[in-house]
């Protein structure tokens, strides 16, 4: 039993070492032109962010979000009502396969 644990531990170490050899995609390849020369964003004090004006949503944005919400709620209701699992067609096929298996056993 000790040998099995030792081999299992060694296998785990080998797997861990192999995981370190993975090839990672180069991040620079995904940059759009001009990103390397772009200015860093201006840093502002946290107090200025906390005491700034409250964000407001336009009527159009509110209507769009409410429409999406009602659509998602309707979809959730349809999914809750949907029957999940085998349907009557599958039950017939299972019964037919069981009958065929019984016939084959009888031969």
What is the tens place of the pLDDT at every residue in 9-32? 888 888 888 877 777 777 666 777
Residue 30: exposed, middle, or buried by beta-carbon count in 10 A (0-12, 13-18, 19+)? exposed
Q: What is the pLDDT, as a whole number, of residue 92?
A: 84
Domain range annotation of the chain: 2-106
pTM value is 0.34
| pLDDT band per the 50, 70, 90 thresholds, residue 49 | confident
pLDDT at 86: 66
Calpha distance 77→9 (Å, rounded): 49
| Tens-digit pLDDT profile for residues 63-76 | 999 999 999 999 99
Phi, psi of 71 (to 5 degrees): -65, -40
Which residues have CB under 8 Å from 94's CB, separation 6+? 86
């Amino acid at each position: 039993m000790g040998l099995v644990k030792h081999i299992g531990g060694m296998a785990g170490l080998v797997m861990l070492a192999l995981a370190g050899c993975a090839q990672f995609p180069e991040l620079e390849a995904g940059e759009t032109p001009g990103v390397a020369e772009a200015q860093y964003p201006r840093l502002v004090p946290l107090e200025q962010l906390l005491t700034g004006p409250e964000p407001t949503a336009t009527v159009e944005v509110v209507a769009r979000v409410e429409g999406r919400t009602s659509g998602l709620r309707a979809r959730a209701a349809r999914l809750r009502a949907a029957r999940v699992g085998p349907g009557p067609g599958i039950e017939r096929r299972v019964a037919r396969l069981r009958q065929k298996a019984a016939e084959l056993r009888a031969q």
